[in-house]
Structure 1
């Protein structure tokens, strides 16, 4: 039994139900004889990866879904051996080099060089004959180090005849200009509340979900509630909807379901309130333990920092100078997170500096 988010994931461009203009542009690109390098960006849950795989399916056919995981071995300049997981099909690879930290440059150079130096062997169908290249999807491209991005730029220039790169990220602000100039930028905005409501309505129809009321307006209001509280994140909306369905035989459309709010978000809200209420060494030590717990549950340091900063800004209640200072501190430590290796130090540094700023502006 698969999750709804996987069960109802579109497999082809024709099955996509929103952002029709982007869909048509991707369809035109897939049929053109000159498929470019792509930089696909947009907020989480907007459907970036889904559209990429639908486009690849349009180019190479169903073989793109024959996935396997390979373990690649790399050796750093300091002779340290690294193991790296690569998700691949006969026509593409999907990698996340930023998982290797400061060694992401080694992965970029060695892996892409290896892929680019090997031409396609399986030319069984007509589509693969037309597109004689292999696609490499690079996740979290905005988290790549500057050295890795420079290596990526050189690879794009040297091996463009054999490979096409599709870079995926939430924001292009950390992508260097030479890479932007060598790729076609495709922005995937978040689906609208109406788009998400329509998708949830179709899923509930297929799954025969029962509601406490047959009033269409009340049910539509429930769908909108899920979309709004999920911040127009389609993946999260589907997961929240399925969670509510699994916990309730009949969904009460008039009830605000607590399952929509994630536990880790509540913890970060409580951290912000604690910082505002008590700013001392004991609080800092307490929050260190909480931060370790979040990191151990695979909540990324950057997400913790971002959400904590926004919560603190909302608690500042219109104090313009304090808000500016908190944002400045957040920006500084966000940069340090990308440069350093011990994320707990930078999150704790952000908390300590913010405590000092709140004390300064509250005097």
Structure 2
């Protein structure tokens, strides 16, 4: 049976969660007092919101039996209507908690997907059953949660994880699974994950299944559908030097060899141009502005090959000091 490592290595305790030290420190205080307000966890995907909610419940209740009886998790992406709030959540909130802790916990994941009517109904339930239940709302965008709910919650913002935090957790998993991977492999996974630990763990598991021996950066970028940063930098260098055709050939080879879409390649060019040392900030700003234009054209259905060529042409003109309009 194929077991997802994301679930297998999900931390059960707050102290095992990496990369969110300030949030964990505050939540540990709630555990010590056996009391907590309603909570709102906001931040990008894969930064530990759901894991933190479950770990908090484990620590507050202290046993799997009490967690099972007193903790309910719902995904608002699937159950986002007013009926879910009025029936399922209300029925759970009306009953008393088991054990010494006087409240139950309802965890609403993806809460920013709740409809406006559902959020108004939820607001009322939070008022009526505040002595009996605590809510943990997890969302990507807190601005989509209505103000009356936000004002009833302690808001915690989860930041994208640093590369060091991701590598720390991946190293632990690699050690447990006896995976052969070096520092360059870990760095490649962290680069691709962009602060998303869930994505990083899934990449590690996929690379382990594909690799015949040691996991190399080449394997990581191949299965992720991204080019190696060095190859993207070479494309930027060729374009800046005015070698437009050579840069375009390199792009086409990358898109064929890695199966990269034009949209993904544009985003990777954007990421690398910001780190590129060969040009000053003024030229970087001009290139980034044009990358935004190309990204919009692609989103509107523009031809990927033509738009990438236009972008390389613009970079070439900037590289030689020309500001002629392209496109």
Same fold (TM over 0.5): yes
The question of whether the paired residues in 2 share the 8 Å contact of 1:12 and 1:57 is answered with yes
- Counterpart of 1:108 in structure 2 is 85
Q: 1:45 to 1:8 in 2, by over 3 A?
A: same
Residue from 102, 105, 113 that aligns with 1:132 = 102
The question of whether the paired residues in 2 share the 8 Å contact of 1:210 and 1:250 is answered with yes
Q: Which has the larger radius of gyration?
A: 2
Cα distance in 2 for residues equivalent to 1:254 and 1:230: 13
Q: Does 1:16 align with 2:17?
A: yes
Q: Does 1:238 align with 2:201?
A: yes
Deviations 1:114-157 (A, max 9, x none): 1222212x33xxxxx1x211111111111111111111111111
Q: 1:322 to 1:210 in 2, by over 3 A?
A: closer
- Counterpart of 1:197 in structure 2 is 167
The question of whether the paired residues in 1 share the 8 Å contact of 2:180 and 2:215 is answered with no
What's the CA shift for 1:57? 0.6
Which SS does the other structure have where 1:38 is aligned?
Answer: strand
Cα distance in 2 for residues equivalent to 1:17 and 1:325: 34
Residue from 183, 206, 216 that aligns with 1:220 = 183
What's the CA shift for 1:238? 1.0
The question of whether the paired residues in 2 share the 8 Å contact of 1:4 and 1:242 is answered with yes
Deviations 1:20-65 (A, max 9, x none): 3322211111222431000011111111111111110111112268
- Counterpart of 2:313 in structure 1 is none
Cα distance in 2 for residues equivalent to 1:176 and 1:25: 24
- Counterpart of 1:161 in structure 2 is 131
What's the CA shift for 1:221? 2.2
Which SS does the other structure have where 1:107 is aligned?
Answer: helix
Which SS does the other structure have where 2:107 is aligned?
Answer: strand
Cα distance in 1 for residues equivalent to 2:302 and 2:115: 26
What's the CA shift for 1:321? 11
Q: CA RMSD of the aligned region, Å? A: 3.5
Could you list the runs of 5+ residues in structure 1 that have no partner in the other structure?
Answer: 67-88, 124-128, 212-218, 263-306, 328-349
- Counterpart of 1:147 in structure 2 is 117
Q: TM-score normalized by structure 2?
A: 0.68
Residue from 35, 52, 72 that aligns with 1:93 = 72
- Counterpart of 1:27 in structure 2 is 28
The question of whether the paired residues in 2 share the 8 Å contact of 1:39 and 1:166 is answered with yes
Q: TM-score normalized by structure 1?
A: 0.62
Which SS does the other structure have where 2:218 is aligned?
Answer: coil
- Counterpart of 1:38 in structure 2 is 39
Cα distance in 1 for residues equivalent to 2:14 and 2:159: 17
Q: 1:353 to 1:138 in 2, by over 3 A?
A: farther
What's the CA shift for 1:193? 0.2
Cα distance in 2 for residues equivalent to 1:207 and 1:97: 34
Cα distance in 2 for residues equivalent to 1:4 and 1:113: 34
The question of whether the paired residues in 2 share the 8 Å contact of 1:230 and 1:260 is answered with no
What's the CA shift for 1:319? 5.1
Which SS does the other structure have where 1:90 is aligned?
Answer: helix
Cα distance in 1 for residues equivalent to 2:121 and 2:136: 15
**Count of residues in Structure 1 that have an aligned counterpart in Structure 2:** 255
Cα distance in 2 for residues equivalent to 1:97 and 1:17: 26
Cα distance in 2 for residues equivalent to 1:319 and 1:97: 36
